[in-house]
Structure 1
Amino acid sequence: MLKVFLNHTSEDKALVMPYFHKLKALGFEPWIDERILPGQDWDEVIQRAFNAADVYLIFMTPRSVTKRGYVQLEINDALDKQRYNLYGDIGLIPLMLEDCDVPVKISRSHQYIRLPEGWHKVVESLELAARQRNIAIHTGVEMGPFRMFLRAEQHRWEGFPGYEVSLSYPHIESSRVPNAALELNEFFTSLRLNILLDARQVRLDQEKERFSGWAGVPDWKPVNSSDVFISPRLASQSILSFSVHQDGMFAGAAHGFMWLETHNFMIIEDQLIRIDINDFLSEPYLAYPPITELVRERVGHEYADRFERELDADDLIRIREALPIDGSIFKNFQITPSGITLLYPQGELFGHAAGAFGADLSFDEIKQWLKPGGPHTYALNASAISWDLGIDD
């Protein structure tokens, strides 16, 4: 069942609730903060629902697009999560509930639907999102030399605290590069096991006295929750990028957490070769300072857009301190046919409330620092390869 998170401001709840009931009647699993019970930690409940959602509906009115606080944070987080979706996946749908100025951060990447006349398009988009997930699970999708199947697991253990882990990751088959497919599956299996081993450590650190006092709170459970998904992308027939993205909430915590790591590989003679950022650069330590300046510029633009103001001197200092020139900022990246996308999860650069950030660098603008014959030569001019679901829009 497709889980749908309804983002709105409290002033618009009466306008949004009819759509909640319509989604429920259509067989979706919508979530709205009307479902928070007295005594529950509202921040924790919202974070759990947000992390578990498959699709986010952003209800826009003059009140919601200008209101500071949790609504804007949710919008930023929902946009951030789209970075880790598969190409073509529907994950966020902006909805014009009343005439208003669409925030630039939404309009530059998503087409909105006007309500109520566009409601049928919303339903079609959600049905397509559900089919995308079902196809990936049951029949697999073609992705370059591979057929990839989506695997989903749930793991639970009750304790003080217990844990709930939701895992989504690909299983890969290939007749063209069978050994590379085997190695990728072994790699995913090791990631999966490490995540479960981390979750199970809570069994050795039980705090029954701490959590037993909350036993009377309705629907509250002392649980460390975690949602993990591994998303694949191909830049060419022989270059793959994977992001491992985790959202979670520790029992009793005021805020959730977000964690990210990326892995990049080339396939040479049916074997996986790991790609590091230094493999692209002829002289890495000479390249770090000028490329870092480009990254600071990209992040600065995103920072200004997100907070809808011009950068001041303190902002510029904050950006420089968050992005040093020692090469550490290149830890997480994905390869595209035209360049490299650097990823910074929520809280890594400017704190939890600022959200996640990213920076796109084209091979053309960093070509003077690229190694002759480096991995970029395999990606340049290649068509982006993605999950081809074979579904007509």
Structure 2
Amino acid sequence: MLKVFLNHASEDRALVLPYFEKLRALGHEPWIDRKLLPGQRWDEEIQRAFYSSDVVLIFMTPRSVRKRGYVQREIHDALERLKSLLPGDIGVIPLMLEECEVPHQISQVLQYIRLPNEWHKVVESLSLAAQQREIAVNDGLPLGPFLVYPRKEVLEWSGLPGYSLELRFPHFESSTLSNIALELNEYVTAMRFDCLLEARRTKLEQDPERFKHWVGTDSEFAASSFSFSLEPVLVGESIISMIRYEFGYFAGAAHGFQGATTHNFVAKDDGLVKLRLEDFFSDPYSACQHLTELCIQKIEKEWEARFETPPSADDREEIARSFPPEWSTYLHFSLSATGISVYFPPYTLGGYAAGSWSAEFSFDELGPLLKFDGPHLLAKRANAVAFVHSDVDGPAAHA
């Protein structure tokens, strides 16, 4: 990983920390002085981190450029290190975090980058710096106007019961839609943290008497296991569709759980707007009735394929009751360039053993119901995604 040292004034730490997390999400190894541990010789540790780094980022604000001491010394030493690099090598990147006068010692040798609007230039410069040093980095998967970086995080906690949590999620960067990428990352971060908080509920459900006999064994009943994966399935200039898969089991439970939720957006006026399925149709009420008729037909066919027998009259009544003509029936849907897939949770129809149900609707069969200028037009122009998560760790979190 590319080692990146973050030079900043202590007064600016709160402004710099979000960039520390963004660098980690990109697969780099950033260093900031908050990583110092009690008892460490702080001067020695800072110097070690500084001189072992590949690139120094200088965060400039009115406070940092006026500050004497370590900030200025690090800037001076970073510029001196440039003399030992090959021509064109990237070793120092000045970043204007707030409007200020750029120190002469920087402006005479380096071009600075303005944050946050030019963050994509930082991403590109660090990628080039890694290439120059033959450091393998994940350059991201190009999807529409975005570079998407897959991340994985595994957390465990020992208790009676304990838990293990695996999170897989994307990180978005874009040179043309930087604010959209920022909002997507904020949304993903909130979802990731919500999953972590749910897993931590295990700490409130301790039962030593019940679970103590599993201590030291490999039994799956000794700990809860959670896996959450957020995957983009369609990405375009102005439309994004993602599915969150979840599965696992609670300690001591008779069987596991599984499910899928979906997250669909359009970009309007440089901001995200969440899509609902009814947004696709010119007459939502009539569309819901017709969609339900189609859905029931598709579920009946799926029933016959799954159970190798046509549904009986009672089965058809149960199917009709399970999929009422209400938009709340169709909360979870994903998009492709050719149509819409709707997902129904377990227990919607039949018990746990029956599993989950879904139905696919092509834009062609929905054609008469769709808005003439609806979001399906954006989906048709977007790119379908075969998104593969990497094993690169994402931002660390406390279990």
The TM-score, its normalising length taken from structure 1, stands at: 0.60
Contact 2:234 2:384 in 1 (8 A): yes
Are positions 1:281 and 2:286 aligned together? no
Task: Note the C-alpha offset of 1:350.
Answer: 2.2
Deviation sequence 1:184-231 (CA, Å, 0-9, x none):
011000000000011112212211112123447554552110011001
The equivalent residue for 2:61 is none
Q: Taking structure 1 as reference, are residues 219 and 340 closer, same or farther at Cα in structure 2, changes over 3 Å only?
A: closer
Contact 2:234 2:241 in 1 (8 A): yes
SS in 1 for 2:242: strand
SS in 1 for 2:364: coil
Task: Note the C-alpha offset of 1:323.
Answer: 0.7
Q: For 1:349-364, list aligned pairs within 5 A.
A: 349-364=349-364
Could you tell me how far apart the structure 1 residues matched to 2:387 and 2:296 are? 34
Could you tell me how far apart the structure 2 residues matched to 1:174 and 1:207 are? 47
SS in 2 for 1:165: strand
Could you tell me how far apart the structure 2 residues matched to 1:138 and 1:213 are? 44
SS in 2 for 1:265: strand
Contact 2:238 2:268 in 1 (8 A): yes
Task: Note the C-alpha offset of 1:293.
Answer: 0.7
The equivalent residue for 1:183 is 183
The equivalent residue for 1:384 is 383
Unpaired segments ≥5 residues, structure 2: 1-136, 389-399
Q: For 1:15-94, list aligned pairs within 5 A.
A: none
Could you tell me how far apart the structure 2 residues matched to 1:235 and 1:206 are? 42
Q: Which residue identity is paired with 2:383? A: A
Q: Taking structure 1 as reference, are residues 154 and 235 closer, same or farther at Cα in structure 2, changes over 3 Å only?
A: closer
Deviation sequence 1:259-286 (CA, Å, 0-9, x none):
3211100122332111111211222222
Contact 2:144 2:235 in 1 (8 A): no
Task: Note the C-alpha offset of 1:368.
Answer: 2.6
Task: Note the C-alpha offset of 1:347.
Answer: 3.4
Q: Which residue identity is paired with 1:298? A: K
Q: Taking structure 1 as reference, are residues 329 and 162 closer, same or farther at Cα in structure 2, changes over 3 Å only?
A: same
SS in 2 for 1:364: helix
Unpaired segments ≥5 residues, structure 1: 1-136
Q: For 1:114-129, list aligned pairs within 5 A.
A: none
The equivalent residue for 2:369 is 369
Could you tell me how far apart the structure 1 residues matched to 2:195 and 2:363 are? 34
Matched pairs, number = 253
Deviation sequence 1:330-376 (CA, Å, 0-9, x none):
11001122221101244333221112221111222223322332212
Deviation sequence 1:38-70 (CA, Å, 0-9, x none):
xxxxxxxxxxxxxxxxxxxxxxxxxxxxxxxxx
SS in 2 for 1:304: helix
Q: Taking structure 1 as reference, are residues 198 and 331 closer, same or farther at Cα in structure 2, changes over 3 Å only?
A: same
The equivalent residue for 1:338 is 338
The equivalent residue for 2:237 is 237
Q: For 1:195-214, list aligned pairs within 5 A.
A: 195-214=195-214
Deviation sequence 1:120-143 (CA, Å, 0-9, x none):
xxxxxxxxxxxxxxxxx9332111
Q: For 1:135-284, list aligned pairs within 5 A.
A: 138-215=138-215, 219-220=219-220, 222-234=222-234, 236-284=236-284
Higher Rg of the two aligned structures? 2
Could you tell me how far apart the structure 1 residues matched to 2:219 and 2:245 are? 27
SS in 2 for 1:252: coil
Q: Taking structure 1 as reference, are residues 387 and 175 closer, same or farther at Cα in structure 2, changes over 3 Å only?
A: farther
Deviation sequence 1:233-290 (CA, Å, 0-9, x none):
2253321111111001000111100132111001223321111112112222222121
Q: State percent identity of aligned pairs.
A: 38
Q: Taking structure 1 as reference, are residues 287 and 217 closer, same or farther at Cα in structure 2, changes over 3 Å only?
A: same
Task: Note the C-alpha offset of 1:386.
Answer: 2.1
Task: Note the C-alpha offset of 1:315.
Answer: 1.9
Deviation sequence 1:291-342 (CA, Å, 0-9, x none):
1010111111111111112222122112111111122221100112222110
SS in 1 for 2:253: coil
Could you tell me how far apart the structure 1 residues matched to 2:362 and 2:276 are? 17
Q: For 1:304-315, list aligned pairs within 5 A.
A: 304-315=304-315
Q: Taking structure 1 as reference, are residues 205 and 383 closer, same or farther at Cα in structure 2, changes over 3 Å only?
A: closer
The TM-score, its normalising length taken from structure 2, stands at: 0.60
Contact 1:225 1:250 in 2 (8 A): yes
Task: Note the C-alpha offset of 1:145.
Answer: 0.8
Contact 2:243 2:262 in 1 (8 A): yes
The equivalent residue for 2:391 is none
The equivalent residue for 2:302 is 302
Q: Taking structure 1 as reference, are residues 235 and 361 closer, same or farther at Cα in structure 2, changes over 3 Å only?
A: farther
Could you tell me how far apart the structure 1 residues matched to 2:356 and 2:176 are? 37
Contact 2:145 2:236 in 1 (8 A): no
SS in 1 for 2:196: helix
SS in 2 for 1:138: coil
Could you tell me how far apart the structure 2 residues matched to 1:387 and 1:353 are? 29
Contact 2:143 2:235 in 1 (8 A): no
Contact 1:163 1:199 in 2 (8 A): yes
Could you tell me how far apart the structure 2 residues matched to 1:219 and 1:341 are? 37
Could you tell me how far apart the structure 2 residues matched to 1:149 and 1:158 are? 30
